[in-house]
Structure 1
Amino acid sequence: MTYRLHLDPALHAAFKALPDQARADLSTCLLEAMADPLAHSEPYGIDDGIMRTIARGRIAGVILIGDSDITLVQLNYAG
């Protein structure tokens, strides 16, 4: 199953402002998570299977996994 991705407009603006490599890394994480979110993420705090962390290079994010969608709820860049 492929999940749909939801981005808040403020997070989308932050994504667009990232350097090219950070955008590419986050895009890769999100695409992998959309295919299989549990296999391509780590628990965020207690492993409830809903709030998960994705990371690659200097970028990290927190995703919320729904029945058929993923929502990016936090974005961190160590630039």
Structure 2
Amino acid sequence: MTYRLHDEPTIRTVWDSLPPDVSAQLTLALAQVCNDPLGSTAPYGEDDGVMRTLVLDHLMAVLYLGHQTKTVHVFQIDYLG
């Protein structure tokens, strides 16, 4: 089942401030996460299947997977330059 993406206004501001190519890469990667949350992310610390990391060429995002609600929450985006 496909998950829905959820982000807060502060996360949206960070996302919107990314260079266009990096923002597009994040958009495509998060679409993949919504289709395969565990397969397209890595554990964040201890592998509890809930807190996950999405690592791309120029950024890292911390995600929370709400398995019961089928949502992907974006908690943090770090642009690595």
Report the TM-score, using the length of structure 2 for normalisation: 0.93
Q: Which residue of 2 aligns with 1:27?
A: 27
Q: Which residue of 1 aligns with 2:16?
A: 16
2:79 is equivalent to residue 77 of structure 1:
yes
- Give unmatched runs, 5+ long, in structure 2: none
* Shift >6 Å, 4+ stretches: none
Give % identity: 37
The amino acid of 1:37's aligned partner reads P
Contact 1:4–1:69 (Cα < 8 Å) also in 2: yes
CA RMSD of aligned residues (A): 0.7
Of stretches 54-63 and 33-42 in structure 1, the one that deviates more from structure 2 is: 54-63
- The 1-side partners of 2:6 and 2:57 are apart by 22
Report the TM-score, using the length of structure 1 for normalisation: 0.95
- The 2-side partners of 1:25 and 1:76 are apart by 14
Q: Which residue of 1 aligns with 2:52?
A: 52
The amino acid of 1:12's aligned partner reads R
Q: Give the drift of 1:57.
A: 1.2
Of stretches 18-27 and 37-46 in structure 1, the one that deviates more from structure 2 is: 18-27
